[in-house]
Chains A and B, each alone.
Chain A
Amino acid sequence: MMEIRFHGRGGQGAVVASRILAAAAFLEGKDVQAFPFFGVERRGAPVTAFTKIDEKPIRIKSEIDEPDYVIVMDTALLSAVDVTQGLKKGGLVLINTEKSAEEIHEILGAEKVAVVDATEIAIRNQLGTKVQPIVNTALVGAFARASGIVKLDSVVQAIGSEVPRNPERNQQAARDAYESTVVMEFS
């Protein structure tokens, strides 16, 4: 089973991102689960969401403590949340940042780091506002590239069904992010 944890802030679309990813894997015939951290959501506050993907039926109903992948939607979260907590050995962190993979590796120490400037991509595709861009669909596109566990086509199709507003621009953001994601391994 692949377990993915999303870190974002209320309003950034982490919960929707977890569902888009689940929907993409579901299109590829996998069993999936997606859920928010079981809390009370507030705009701007740190939000956690989860996606589980498996070849066989998923029976475990508990939260994810040891993710294979972590997706961080906002670098400002790094000072507030221990995003790599429980990350499996060899696990990958995908982060929305202007920084390089080396710089993120310096900060987080993760062995596998993927970086993408999802904020710039979201603004370019007119998703949200410049102050509060909606980066979730770009990040799921980037995740397809960084992880290889879902196809970009599936992500694009899933956005079509899961995102009611501006699906085309969101799909373009996912494609742009897929193209510009940089993945590096450190050992």
Chain B
Amino acid sequence: MVRMLLTGNKTTAYSAMRSRVQVVSAYPITPQTTIVEHIAEFIADGLMKAEYIQVESEHSAMAAAIAASNTGARAFTATSAHGLLLMHEMLHWATGARLPVVMVNVNRALGPPWSVWADHLDSISQRDTGWMQYYVENNQEIFDTVIMAYKVSERPDIMLPSMISQDAFYLSHTVEPVDIVEQEVVDNYLPPYDPPYRLDVNNPAGFGSLVMPNHYYEFRYKIAEAMEKAKKYIKEAAEEWYEITGRDYRGLLDCYRCEDADVVLFGAGTMMSTAKEVVDWMRAEGKKVGVARIRVFRPFPGEDVRKVADGAAAIGVMDRAYGFGRGGAFFNEVNSALYNHRNRPPTKNYIIGLGGRDVKPRHIRAIFNDLLKVKDEGLDEEFRWFGLRRENMPEEEI
């Protein structure tokens, strides 16, 4: 085991190296990150054997990854914020063409006003592209998840792309100890990519051509079916990784002290790591609180959300992004999973941390206390912009 001090960006580059990716396409400009710089160095230094394609835009970066994957190569790219938005059209293409591209996105806010800080709206905006979506809470989880994501994506009965999102600065620029699992261990876990069909000049075939209405519908159903099946394979891949490393990612929903909790707080990314610490502090004070971290957002772990609802008297959902018109995406998804369920505790949405506003332990504590009030007194409001500063009003003291 080699434990190194690494930023999230460098960890990501190591994960691509250990996954033996064969083609990396990238557009190296802000809001791109040092991920692709580190990979370029690895390749230049001979530490990584891959084709590095410098393209002219993020749209082309995804197009190149798609083409590479179509030839049977293991393809990787990284992006962030507006770069991800420019890829949008090609994200749908990767899914429709059933190509297991894996990409790491550094979650950053969208402009204007210009911002480079943490916010989930970039990846949330890609919710319906058919990519599996993972949100991580520390650098180790980036490394582990990229490798597991290839394993799931490349299954012949899945063949869907995966996106792993890490919070800007909180992980991308933060140094933490990371266990870089040895190459031969990863090789045993993740065999080379060997797709049933590929672009091959010696065996010509067409991909992604026109279909009539009497076939398109079934193509979409097959994607839906694969996405549903992926839940089981994500758990299996995590089980196998757990046996090797002892690190536990076996839940699509990462529940921490939920079992006997009166109130449970949902959310994604690094702020949920902070929330786990706060849970321990409040438990020590006799307050029964728990955390349910949405580690996998697509496919959505609706069954697990229902299980949490069976035990909790109130549910809070923190969203580090806002869907203008009707609340945060995680809140809406949690609600949607519960509507046809018999146990429906009150749910409250906390909009927090947009554009990198720091989410501190005292904020999480205030939210838990607010939720305990909802449990006792009922729901006061559905949406709360937490810590909002208003004109002519001092900053809310929390």
Contacts and interface: CB of A to CB of B under 8 A. Distances in A.
B276 interface: yes
A65 interface: yes
Contacts of B138: 61
A107 interface: no
Given A38-B169, A38-B356, A40-B116, A61 B175 contact: no
Interface in A41-72: 58-63, 65
B175 A33 contact: yes
A111 to B, nearest CB: 24
A32 interface: yes
Interface residues of B, number: 26
Contacts of A58: 176
A23 B169 contact: no
Nearest to A18: B175
Nearest to A1: B277
A32 B117 contact: no
Interface residues of A, number: 19
Contacts of B276: 59
Interface string B216-249: 0000000000000000000000000000000000
A32 B270 CA distance: 16
Contacts of B360: 62-63, 65
B398 interface: no
Contact of A38 (B5, B117, B359, B361): B117
Contacts of B274: 59-62
Nearest to A62: B360
B177 A61 contact: no
A167 B118 CA distance: 35
Nearest to A15: B173
Contact of A36 (B173, B356, B361): B173
A58 B138 CA distance: 10
Contacts of A19: 5, 175
Interface in B118-136: 118
A140 interface: no
Contacts of A61: 137-138, 167, 170, 174, 270-271, 273-274, 359
A36 B170 CA distance: 10
Nearest to A30: B177
B359 A33 contact: no
Nearest to A27: B5
Contacts of B277: 59-60
Interface string B266-284: 0000110110110000000
B176 A33 contact: yes
A14 interface: no
Interface of A: 19, 22-23, 26, 31-36, 38, 40, 58-63, 65
6 interchain residue pairs of minimum CB distance: A38-B169, A35-B174, A61-B270, A34-B175, A59-B277, A62-B360
Given A35-B170, A60-B274, A62-B361, 14 more contacts: A19-B5, A26-B177, A32-B5, A32-B176, A33-B174, A34-B5, A38-B117, A38-B169, A38-B173, A58-B176, A59-B277, A60-B361, A61-B170, A61-B274
7 contacts: A22-B175, A32-B177, A34-B5, A35-B169, A38-B170, A60-B274, A65-B360
